[in-house]
Amino acid sequence: MKSIIEKYGHKRVVIVKGGITRHRSIFNGLKVFVENEFSNHLLQKPEVVIIHDAVRPFVEEDILSKVVMAAKEHGAAGAIRPLVSTVIASAADGCLDHSLERARYRASEMPQAFLFDIIYEAYQQCTDYDLDYGTECLHLALKYCKTNAKLVEGTADLWKVTYKRDLYAAESIIKDNLSQQVCVITDVKEAVAQIGFLLHETLKSQQIEAVSISLSKSDSHLQNIFSGQCYNFVCINDKKYAIQEAQQLVDMLEKSNLPLLYPVVLILMHLDISENISFSIGIEELTRIKKFAGEMKKKNILVYGLLIQYKDHLVLQKIVNSAAALIMALIKDRNPELIGQLLVA
Amino acid sequence: MKSIIEKYGHKRVVIVKGGITRHRSIFNGLKVFVENEFSNHLLQKPEVVIIHDAVRPFVEEDILSKVVMAAKEHGAAGAIRPLVSTVIASAADGCLDHSLERARYRASEMPQAFLFDIIYEAYQQCTDYDLDYGTECLHLALKYCKTNAKLVEGTADLWKVTYKRDLYAAESIIKDNLSQQVCVITDVKEAVAQIGFLLHETLKSQQIEAVSISLSKSDSHLQNIFSGQCYNFVCINDKKYAIQEAQQLVDMLEKSNLPLLYPVVLILMHLDISENISFSIGIEELTRIKKFAGEMKKKNILVYGLLIQYKDHLVLQKIVNSAAALIMALIKDRNPELIGQLLVA
Ligand SMILES: [Mg+2]
Ligand SMILES: [Mg+2]
């Protein structure tokens, strides 16, 4: 935990040692505000506390502010969701006793928010049995403080990462979110700019937010793109080894701290319009991209090569479509094993 | 639905028109057994019926036989799972009324099994309100036939594909299942066989079930591998265009019906041990693999090229490790956009 906080530079976080059950951990967290009231300005007793599960990483700001507002008014509030399955009670013999009418019940999810004094009071009053076997904070507030929590409809994002399949789902959701925006970087030469324009339009027609900049006046534009959280860059160049140009972008990426949280995808797209009919890719070129990609990997930047070769303007759109499909496949997969490969559109 | 049944050659399936609610659809399904008793041998009234949701595609045979056996004994049986969240009841004002003790309740899942006469009787007796607003078959059997269903603990596989994230999870689970086994095909030449052996060992050390066969005596071996549901093939060859050899495998794959349900991955691994220092890949080779891969795609076979080049035996294991990593990445992703690309280990 400490290394995570250091790595991402969180300044307003205090770690509290957990207990052997969920409720004991939460109680430990609450106690710190009372016991350390005068020693640390971060630990001044708050009016409202939010309790959340780390296994619900996709929580949105909107639901946080909703439960906080409701807690101010009602003393307690929690997110709820419709039940996915019918809930049943079993008898001692392992047979059905009764089933609950699904429409009348809800699943209690997180986040929950409380007036500090109410939830702290509830934890002080509750029994060891509650602390060892209970799981529901709203229940404690009701039982010990007579506080009927306000229930706030949450979105499907609040789901709990519980099983292996949930890790798969979480990974896909993150990759999906990172793939919505692509920045296309070109230099001013005509052929390069033309391909850049076509690629931009093709990506846009696929509901991808495409941003184009030319390398010559990139600085302030790029800063805007970095702060817009764009995690995907395509550099189009007609030089065979455009690694120097890429290095310039990499330096700026590093300064921006963008690759700290998620891997950035950088596709080096080489435009070959030579008349040479017996075109071939030399081992030196392959080795060079691989070596560069290996170094960039350490900076959490995933580099892939993409070659476009055409002599005939009539097939240009077809080749750009093929390039766009490869670009989107690379961006969506973010596969670290494929870095340094040179794909051909 | 009809096209699916035809495509996959299902012989023992009858489609029944659904109703406007879950219960009405199930009732329609049950009625067919009574109304058509003498017209079709598939529709003879069964002793036990299993009711299942199509959105729970990972159901295992084990739980099916468990609910059937329990239904024979108890008249009804259903799969259950522990609750993931606390279940709460809300009052009319949208505030918490009470929460249920999580340990005493279970989520009712599918499959469920019933003696036909019991569940059919229950559906005949039940009200329009039940048919329109109810969802739980176990509840009908209890209410109208006094049958307390036996509850059978199911595995996490029974989860219901409900949200978009569940589709992501389902896709990853299927791809994971398809990636457990790789068949390495070599010819008898020494260099090729050696690489094949090293690759086999490297995959095995990564908990992948590797099967090796040599091309010369492939026929009956391959039939065994097809029937073992292996969906991944690596053909190692030292000829530059090993497409003819691959075609032989493709023909056998087609006959086996293996690519009908899931895409088969076929990696053409070209071993280059020429002394030629200025090694390069020609555009003809690239075009050739791409064209072949495009044709194979129509047969649901995903073809990728993989080049291994080495002159120094000391680095052989390192290159094989790199090849194994690329092979596993290609197999796990099964990305149709990357077919026909030539990767370099
Ligand atoms: Mg809770
Ligand atoms: Mg049900």
Quote the tokens at residue B343.
């990767």
* Positive/negative CA dihedral, A137, A139, A140, A142: positive
Strands B264-272 and A264-272, bridge-based pairing: unpaired
Each residue of A136-167: pLDDT tens digit?
A: 999 999 999 999 999 999 999 999 999 999 99
Residue type, A150: K
| pLDDT exceeds cutoff 90 at A44 | no
Q: How much distance in Å is there from the Cα of B34 to the middle of ligand 2?
A: 23
**Mean pLDDT score, A5-34:** 93
What pLDDT sits at residue B277?
A: 59
Nearest-neighbour CA in chain A from B251: distance (Å): 27
The percentage of residues in chain B with a pLDDT greater than 90, rounded to a whole number, is 66
Helix axes of B316-333 and B190-205: crossing angle, nearest 10 degrees: 60
| pLDDT exceeds cutoff 90 at B284 | no
Half-sphere exposure of B181 (CA within 13 A, CB side): 13
Quote the tokens at residue A247.
């290095």
* Contact in structure between A337 and B331 (CB atoms under 8 Å): no
Q: Which of A100, A151, A325 sits opposite B90 (nearest CB)?
A: A151
* A3 CB within 8 Å of a chain B CB: no
Q: Which of A75-84, A245-254, B202-211 has the lowest mean pLDDT?
A: A245-254
Q: Which of A139, A160, A325 sits opposite B84 (nearest CB)?
A: A160
List of chain A residues whose C-beta atoms are within 8 Å of the C-beta of residue B140: none
Q: Which of B268, B267, B275, B269 is nearest to B310 (CA)?
A: B275
* A169 CB within 8 Å of a chain B CB: yes
**Mean pLDDT score, A313-317:** 83
What pLDDT sits at residue A121?
A: 97
Q: What is the mean pLDDT of chain A?
A: 91
* A282 CB within 8 Å of a chain B CB: yes
Nearest-neighbour CA in chain B from A127: distance (Å): 16
pLDDT band at A277 (very low <50, low <70, confident <90, very high): low
Q: What is the mean pLDDT of chain B?
A: 91
Nearest-neighbour CA in chain B from A226: distance (Å): 27
SS3 B188: coil
Q: Which residue of chain A comes nearest to B71, CA vs CA? A: A95
Q: How much distance in Å is there from the Cα of A84 to the middle of ligand 2?
A: 10
Q: Which of B85, B166, B344 sits opposite A286 (nearest CB)?
A: B344
User: Do B88 and A138 lie within an 8 Å CB cutoff?
Assistant: yes
Strands A48-51 and A76-82, bridge-based pairing: unpaired
Mutate to test the interface with A, among B165, B306, B331 (most CBs of A within 10 A): B165
**In three state form, how does the secondary structure of chain A look?**
CHHHHHHCCCCCCCCCCCCCCHHHHHHHHHHHHHHCCCCCHHHCCCCEEEECCCCCCCCCHHHHHHHHHHHHHHCEEEEEEECCCEEEEECCCCEEEEECCHHHEEEEEEEEEEEHHHHHHHHHHCCHHHHHHCCCHHHHHHHHHCCCCEEEECCHHHCCCCCHHHHHHHHHHHHHHHCCEEEEEECCCHHHHHHHHHHHHHHHHCCCEEEEEEHHHCHHHHHHHHHCCCCEEEEEECCCCCHHHHHHHHHHHHHHCHHHCCCEEEEEEEEECCCCCCCEEEHHHHHHHHHHHHHHHCCCEEEEEEEEECCCHHHHHHHHHHHHHHHHHHHHHCCHHHCCCEEEC
What pLDDT sits at residue A295?
A: 96
Q: Which helix (H) or strand (E) holds B29?
A: helix B22-35
Quote the tokens at residue B302.
């995903």
My answer on whether omega of the bond before A336 falls inside 30° of 0, hence cis, is no
Q: Which of A141, A124, A113 is nearest to A47 (CA)?
A: A113
Secondary-structure class of domain B2-77+109-159 per CATH: alpha beta
Quote the tokens at residue B315.
């680095």
pLDDT band at A40 (very low <50, low <70, confident <90, very high): confident
According to CATH, the superfamily of the domain at A2-80+109-160 is: Spore Coat Polysaccharide Biosynthesis Protein SpsA; Chain A (3.90.550.10)
Helical segments of B36-163, H only: 61-74, 116-125, 128-133, 137-145
Maximum alpha-carbon separation in chain A: 84
What pLDDT sits at residue B278?
A: 63
| pLDDT exceeds cutoff 90 at A245 | no
Secondary-structure class of domain B172-344 per CATH: alpha beta
* B166 CB within 8 Å of a chain A CB: yes
Q: Which of B97, B104, B159 sits opposite A89 (nearest CB)?
A: B104
Taking the CA of B78 as reference, the closest ligand is: 2
As to burial, measured by CB atoms within 10 angstroms (0-12 exposed, 13-18 middle, 19+ buried), residue B49 is buried
As to burial, measured by CB atoms within 10 angstroms (0-12 exposed, 13-18 middle, 19+ buried), residue A188 is exposed
**In three state form, how does the secondary structure of B103-125 look?**
HHEEEEEEEEEEEHHHHHHHHHH
pLDDT band at A118 (very low <50, low <70, confident <90, very high): very high
* B150 CB within 8 Å of a chain A CB: yes
Nearest-neighbour CA in chain A from B103: distance (Å): 9
Q: How much distance in Å is there from the Cα of A78 to the middle of ligand 1?
A: 9
Domain coordinates of chain A in residue numbers? 2-80+109-160, 172-344
Residue type, B300: N
| pLDDT exceeds cutoff 70 at A276 | no
Q: Which of B171, B173, B280 sits opposite A280 (nearest CB)?
A: B280
List of chain A residues whose C-beta atoms are within 8 Å of the C-beta of residue B149: 95-96
Each residue of B66-122: pLDDT tens digit?
A: 999 999 999 999 999 999 899 999 999 999 999 998 888 999 999 999 999 999 999
